Amino acid sequence: MSSPNFIDYIKFNSRSGKGGAGFLHFHRDKLTNKGGPDGGNGGRGGHIILRGNAQLWTLLHLKYRKHVIAANGNGGEEQNRTGADGKDEIIEVPLGTVARRAETDEFLCEINEDGQEIILTPGGRGGKGNAYFATATNQTPSHAQPGEPGIEEWIILELKLLADVGLVGFPNAGKSTLLSVVSAAKPKIADYAFTTLTPNLGVVAYRGDKSFVMADIPGIIEGASEGRGLGIRFLKHIERNSLLLFMVPADANDIKKEYAILLDEIKKYNPELLDKKRILAISKSDMLDDELKEALAKEVPTELPSVFISAVANQGITELKDMIWKNLH
């Protein structure tokens, strides 16, 4: 999954339908000149509804839909007939979509399951017809309610990718190469920084019919949490990951320092991310002989599991998968 059309943020105007008016009516027919009240209730206005769709992975289809408007409810009718409800407007979104009010940044809901439906902007209630107000002491009420107005508000939808494993590293650390080797994903790969401009997702097969989902985000640079580079826009995508796989290349000047910088950027962005399980992979290790690996092993942080890998030479990949699976389960 990689595309220049990856859209993870949209803002649109959401307007639910207004409720139909209750009907003021008294029963009349050729045998009844002055019957009792029989005005029906109005139908409710249409809702704006979010629905999860596991086949979607971007908000691109909503990019140019700036206004979402549901239909109004119909008015009540004679013979106590309730007006039809306004047609709901259903917005299909990828799993991992969060909705917030634009003006207040108030969290509204999140969609995490296929087919899950949540009313984002409720329609107005229909008004009561005069039959509703009939009592023993007031048998001929001469009033009915208008329908409630709909709600109009600006909504922000933000996508946070759902994946088991999130790849964290500086640009050109080998994240995209690893993803292309262990899954069917085909991210753009080249020997320069910021090759990855959009997140990539891949399903990694593991020992038989088991699998887990891995996400590669654009490389983080020092200062990303303050807005430098490309990483800040995509750091949100690792908030949903169960495990963070840090990648530092074997030719780094100081492996421990690079890991510390990555960890610090994540801490500045969201300290709660430090509660996630972490693994460190030393990438591009095919350039190392056993003696160099032994020497480098002394520079590797000891507070988390680590492994030397080479995606190009397929070295340490099975060991890495085993380590990931053990920490996921």
pLDDT at 1: 44
> CATH says 165-328 is which class?
alpha beta
Residues 219-243 pLDDT 10s: 665 554 455 444 456 677 778 788 9
Residue with the larger pLDDT of the pair 11 and 171: 11
Task: Spell out the residues 6+ positions from residue 177 whose beta carbon is closer than 8 angstroms to its own.
Answer: 189, 283, 311, 312
Where in the chain is CATH 2.70.210.12?
1-159
Mean pLDDT of 123-139: 93
pLDDT in tens, 139-156: 889 999 999 999 999 999
Is the pLDDT at 113 greater than 90, yes or no? Answer: yes
pLDDT of the residue at 8: 81
Residue 3: pLDDT band with limits 50, 70, 90: very low
Q: What is the pLDDT of residue 185?
A: 55
Are the beta carbons of 225 and 268 closer than 8 angstroms? yes
pLDDT tens per residue, range 79-106: 999 999 999 999 999 888 999 999 999 9
Q: How far is CA 58 from the centre of its chain?
A: 9
- Strand, coil or helix: what is 306? strand
Residues in contact with 292: Cβ distance below 8 Å, sequence separation at least 6, in sequence order = none
Are 189 and 2 in contact, with CB atoms under 8 Å apart? no
Mean pLDDT (the chain) is: 85
The pTM assigned to this predicted structure is: 0.69
- Tens digits of per-residue pLDDT, 36-77? 899 999 999 999 999 999 888 788 899 899 999 999 999 999
For range 13-29, the mean pLDDT:
94
Domain boundaries for CATH 3.40.50.300 within the chain: 165-328
Q: How far apart are CA 225 and CA 114, in angstroms?
A: 32
> 215 has which bridge partners?
166, 201
| pLDDT recorded at residue 174 | 78
Residue range 156-172: mean pLDDT, rounded = 84
Q: What is the pLDDT of residue 192?
A: 42
Q: Given this model, what pLDDT does residue 232 score?
A: 53
Residue written as tokens 């190009």?
A: 312
Span 1-159: which CATH code? 2.70.210.12
> Closest Cα partner for 250 from 165, 168, 172?
172
| 50/260 Cα distance (integer angstroms) | 40
